[in-house]
A and B are shown apart, each in its own frame.
Chain A
């Protein structure tokens, strides 16, 4: 069984400020972890993923996330927010073996103020 919790349905930051979107997961097996971004009226686009190896993962658009097994977390960060980062962000977990059906969090809407 697996689950994902994204703390905060909305996160508001000023342009240039640090972005931190929180994701905690539970999984009975070693997880694969993903962050996706969804812009209005579009499908989801992969930002980054963790499967094995280095726990700090870098993705597109300057985002990165760190897998912390002891904290069962995979928080998404970006040092400096841009207006174009305003979107819905989804964290997802899937099992590293067997079925690859991922479980998605409910999403966090990132609002960027000028």
Chain B
């Protein structure tokens, strides 16, 4: 079956521009996570959606970052007024219970 998909795979943007990253989770998975992975670093948790509950936004690094999940499925991570330090790979994962299934990531480069 289809796995987690993310788009775009690569995004180059100028400092100060807004970007939107998309995640399509596995159908039926109630949980959805966003992570940021910087070069040589581990995974930094950003935000977690579980069903219809309020999302856990405790990992968002600043108010420039936001995310939504429409209809309990597709999610969009938005970064406003991008900065060079936002350059990273943004990974999305979904799960039902327990283990997570990851998408291939979006590589964001802010110039």
Residues in chain A within 8 A of chain B (CB atoms): 32, 34, 36, 41-46, 49, 51, 90, 94, 99-107
Contact = CB atoms under 8 A, between A and B. Distances in A.
Is chain B's interface secondary structure helix, strand, loop, or mixed overall? strand
A69 to B, nearest CB: 19
Contact of B45 (A36, A41, A49, A101): A101
A36 B102 CA distance: 10
Interface of B: 4, 31, 33, 35, 41-43, 45, 48, 50, 56, 91, 93, 95, 97-105
27 contacts: A32-B98, A34-B99, A36-B102, A42-B104, A42-B105, A43-B4, A43-B91, A43-B93, A43-B102, A43-B104, A43-B105, A44-B102, A45-B102, A46-B101, A49-B98, A90-B43, A94-B98, A99-B50, A99-B56, A100-B31, A100-B50, A100-B95, A101-B33, A103-B45, A104-B35, A105-B42, A107-B41
